[in-house]
Amino acid sequence: MHDAIGFSSLETGANYTMEWYELFQLGNCTFPHLRPEMFAPFWCNQGAACFFEGIDDLHWSQNGTLEKIGEVTGSQFNAMAQWVQDDNKTGIYYETWTVCSDPSPNATVWFESYDCSQFVHRTYRKLTELGAKLSSRSQTNYTKIYLYSGEPRYLGNDSAIFGQPALKNLATDIRQFYHAFRPHQSIFDLAFSLLEAYKKVVLDKSFYLYYNFEYWHLPMKHPYVQITYEEVPLP
């Protein structure tokens, strides 16, 4: 469920990995922490591109696909490197979910995910724009996690919801929703939380999404949640 781009220098033979990562792990980016001293949920959902020396060939070969897809010049690489820094400043949060109206090909996409695979797609498009030619012998598939809902309803940001006494009921409902997804639960608590989450998402058809520092309510629809492994061709 992870994607990255590797680079190898023809001059020096040095290898490098570039990937867009959730800085505080996937669970913390997907659901918040509920702190007793804070009424608003505490989010650790920052993401950023990371560039480091070396490619873990064994890991990628055994657990996925490791394949050369093109060559770039030094000037193209330098232009891409500058773009990565600009991209890092533009999108600073990690978003796990893709939210659609239904599973059909013509579905309305309410919210796009902002994750490791989306960074790979953006980088491929930028490299192509810079003149690189990319091709793959393998089918380029990526994992996506979908939520299905009717038209989302905008609720507000932290200060609007958790700082207004008039919206205390909404604020309390959001906290109760996320309570089922809290980390570090015992086996007993986890079993109870799974039942609680099922009731809220499937039976009550309700989901609170935190997207770009704002809360939205999703009126959930069948099949509610789905994990797919779908092809996204190279540009």
Q: What residue spans of 43-146 are helical by DSSP H?
A: 57-63, 74-90, 116-129
Distance CA 98, CA 118 (A): 11
Q: Which amino acid is at 13?
A: G
CA atoms within 13 A on the CB side of 233: 1
Q: Which of 29, 100, 116, 217 is catalytic?
A: 116
Distance CA 94, CA 25 (A): 10
116 among known catalytic residues: yes
Residues forming beta bridges with residue 20, ordered by sequence position: 49
Classify the phi-psi angles of 7: left when phi > 0, otherwise alpha if psi is within -120 to 50, otherwise beta.
beta
205 in helix, strand or coil?
coil
- The alpha carbon of residue 35 and the mean position of all alpha carbons in its chain are separated, in whole angstroms, by 23
Q: Which of 2, 33, 121, 179 is catalytic?
A: 2
State the helix-helix crossing angle for 74-90 and 116-129, rounded to 10 degrees.
Answer: 140
- Torsion 187-97-144-110 (CA) sign: positive
29 among known catalytic residues: no
> Going by C-beta distance under 8 Å and a sequence separation of 6 or more, which residues neighbour residue 82?
none
Element (H, E) at 176: helix 168-179
Q: Any idea which residues carry the catalytic annotation?
A: 2, 116
